[in-house]
Amino acid sequence: MSNDYRKTPEALGRLTDAQYRVTQEDGTEPAFRNEYWNNHEPGIYVDVVSGQPLFSSTDKYDSGTGWPSFTKPIAPDAVSTKKDWKLLLPRTEVRSSGADSHLGHVFPDGPRQAGGLRYCMNSAALRFVPASSLEDEGYGAYRHLFTTENQEHAS
């Protein structure tokens, strides 16, 4: 797997209408009616456009909002943020750092013991790679997140 996580015309051409609307037009999918809000399998979430690793299930939690929520990105440089003034009050938009895909927003109301942030993401911006498939799909470097020792610390 390449670590070149740029947006390409080929990658954009493979997106569904919903994936394109969310990642390229800064859309939002409906709460509780999206693919990953209730996914509890171990694995990582990657940018649907570029394949860039973004979040780990070890940092996912049920925020009650109906969207997949994480306490932090898989690596500090995996995402970038910027102010979003589309609503009355400013929000902090989250984008993938490689392909600049719109992912969702980050809010300061996450679990305090895990840093206090809630990365509220759109499932349509993500592709889930199960822990059992990490090596096969070129993400073996993240296998260590799902060892027995790390799972015990995450509990």
The pLDDT, as a whole number, for residue 52 is 98
Single pTM value for the model:
0.91
Residue 90 has a pLDDT of 79
Report, as residue numbers or ranges, the catalytic residues: 120
DSSP SS3 for 61: strand
Going along the chain from its start, the domains and CATH numbers come out as 9-72+79-154 (2.170.150.20)
pLDDT of 153: 45
Stronger pLDDT, 10 or 3, i.e. the higher one: 10
Phi-psi region of 64 (alpha: psi -120 to 50; beta: other; left: phi over 0): left
pLDDT value at 2 more than 70? no
pLDDT tens per residue, range 28-38: 999 999 999 99
Cα–Cα dist 42/29, whole Å: 23
Look at residues 35, 39, 54, 7 and name the one whose alpha carbon lies nearest to residue 122: 35
Measured CA to CA, the distance from residue 117 to residue 55 in angstroms comes to: 13
- Model confidence at 152: pLDDT above 60: no
- Residue 1 pLDDT > 60: no
pLDDT of residue 155: 43
Q: Which amino acid is at 100?
A: D
Q: Is 102 exposed, middle or buried (0-12, 13-18, 19+ CB in 10 A)?
A: buried
pLDDT by residue (tens digit) across 120-146?
A: 999 999 999 999 999 999 999 999 999
DSSP state of 11: H
